[in-house]
A and B are shown apart, each in its own frame.
Chain A
Amino acid sequence: MLAACGGDEASGRPTLNWYNFPDDSGALQKAADRCSQASGGRYSISYNKLPRAADGQRQQLVRRLAAEDDSLDILGLDVTWAAEFAEARWVREWTGKAKQEAVEGTLRVPLQTSTWKGKLYAVPYNTNTQLLWYRKDLVPTPPRTWAEMLDMADALSRQGKPHLVEVQGAQYEGLTVWFNTLINSAGGSILNASATEPSLGPPAERAAGIMRDLANSPAADPSLSNQMEDQNRLAMESGVAAFELNYPFVYPSMRSNNPELFKNFRWAPYPRVDANRPARPTIGGIDLAVSAYSRHPDLAFEAALCLRNRENQLTAALEGGLPPTLRALYDDSAFMKEYPFSTEVLAALESASVRPITPVYQNVSIAVSHTLSPPSGIEPESSVATIREQIDDALRSEGVIP
């Protein structure tokens, strides 16, 4: 990558290096080109691809920021990293006019992910959330709660029909997301409001109990303890499952891989824990931050805002399948046409939960996923006690992570 050398610095036009997840659709490159054009020659944006896996992305960014590398300008952070990068003083605070523009028209929950100690450190770029996907030929009306869903799966299995519930049960971030969704849906949270100590309690035991119940029921996929989003998608497409909890990317994939099943492929809101309390699915997505070591911070703020403006978010949604963070886009006809489930996604986003916002989120997540893996081995009370201990250690930077 010679772009890091400042490209055409000599001609007085700074190159801003944007580091983000690798996008194969071309939408991100398009946004970078558009914004370079729109700057009227004041800067050009070079889009650099980070590794594919989130852990690899974070490691590269952290390694370079810790070394005060000044060739990074705009950083695409996973929604769980903003607090950590802010606390380590690797990213700049958004203030004044830039902050105003960043907040304007942006969905509330994604903004929470880029806020730390009351200050804004990043601007939401895209968001994401899970829905319940099911087969209409097997399930005439989608279940409203987890208990209903397990009953339906039981009934289907007795009839000898496809009945599995596909969910992320491998020991990784996805397992933490599942637990976080359930604990929030049960009215609790992993950490207390000020993120100073674990909250957990009875809602955590309920959440862990649901995970264990699923894992030990006929609804569990035989390879549950090793499944990530993509294995869930493949299992659903192969016709062995009746339900799937996953992100909207499964929809276009089903359309092209199994047109027959696609005819009966439907979506519904994420199942609740309690019938009278809405489910609170965990959001994912990317926030754009400006590196503390950038040599052109003012231009970088401006460019980051351009990269996530209405036009570029729409392109990213239509071509890259990334749900936007601007509220207005959910009423856009082009978006709604391409995204038949935009209404449900928006509703999910309005009531969504975020993963614990803390600089030690990585350790918290590892404590959760490591303790709850495999789901069939969960013992609600002792598992939650273990998570509490490990989170206590993590919050004090003590203890070893597995």
Chain B
Amino acid sequence: MNFDDTPQEAEFRATARAWIGANAPKQYEDELRKSSLGRTVLKNANILEVAKAWQKKKADAGWACLHWPKEYGGRGSSPIERVIWQQEEGPFGQLSRMFIIGHGMCGPTMMAFAREEHKRTYLPPLASGEKVWCQLFSEPAGGSDVAGLRTRAEKDGDDWIINGQKIWTSGAHYSDFGILLTRTDPTVPKHKGLTMFFLDMKSPGVEVRPIKQASGASDFNEVYFTNVRIPDHQRLGEVGDGWNVSLTTLMNERSAIGAAVSTGFPELFEYCSSLMLDDGPAIEDRAVRSKLANWAVKASGLKYTSMRAISALSKGERPGPENSIGKLVAGSMIQDVATYALDLQGASGVVSGEDAELAGRFQAMLLRAPGTRVEGGTDEIMRNIIAERVLGLPGDIRVDKDMPFNKIPTKGRG
């Protein structure tokens, strides 16, 4: 067991640090450092443009998507080098959140299932942030139950014709491409009739309508498809094998999102270290200390769990379903942390935005947090995954499992 850099790791760290020191957009460092989940991060600049510029600069110098192969725009780095890079990139890493779906889910799915020429064409501009990708899975009828989706793909010569509707698609309004899960055969059980594609979001017949979120922001969208044509060579995996393809995406989603979710703890600790309560410093209050200690060990537990996963990865083991715990723990923690920070603010905690304590950092966190517990699989789905795939407990009873899709009774929204 060893936490120190090996000589090669130390050298890599020094090179990365020097490059970041010379190239990062320093003018945004302070704002990025103080930003936290839920807050629009830059006041006087378009975050997407800043993020794209930083990503492009990294790509040109070989620092984008470090773990991807070089021929697809990466650096062919080891998992540990990736961690070192993240440590050194610090607050500037916040900017890559704009690309998390493309880099974390669409890219790996393309790598596993696209034709070689497509990988070489589409992956480098995805890595460099020049092209942004989105993930078109969820629908009104299928969120947790992804396989319940209804968007149809019908063969027409060498093309497929797509009709239907997706929902909650993050970033669709600024995406260039998307991976799309469709139903190609409604007469077989639901998991068997799915097929995956990728498509150009500018294709005729694609319409993106932003949805206003509970937090007030509009990061996700509805996407409508009316007779959209996708050439067959943009299919990912076999016809009818879309469920398997999507499992690759979802597995990557859990490790990408799980590793990226913040817990809110460092922010809360910093806050309590300077906050004065009626009867003295918050950090000396028994009750505050107890709360902090409990969250501290969750946050450190998550940190070292991910380091254990990285050590396993670097020995060639595959990332497993145990990665589900990252988002499960962090998701409800950030919600509780934000609630508590506001409790400490007393009546004034109700004020949000620029006039609030710390420019409304914890208020923004509170309002964004419910989404964290839903996106990328709800808490309940995460627990099911742990129970079934890690602990080996029986799957839930699925009454529709063997039924042809078009015979499944429907009711509810959509």
Q: Do A and B come from one complex?
A: no
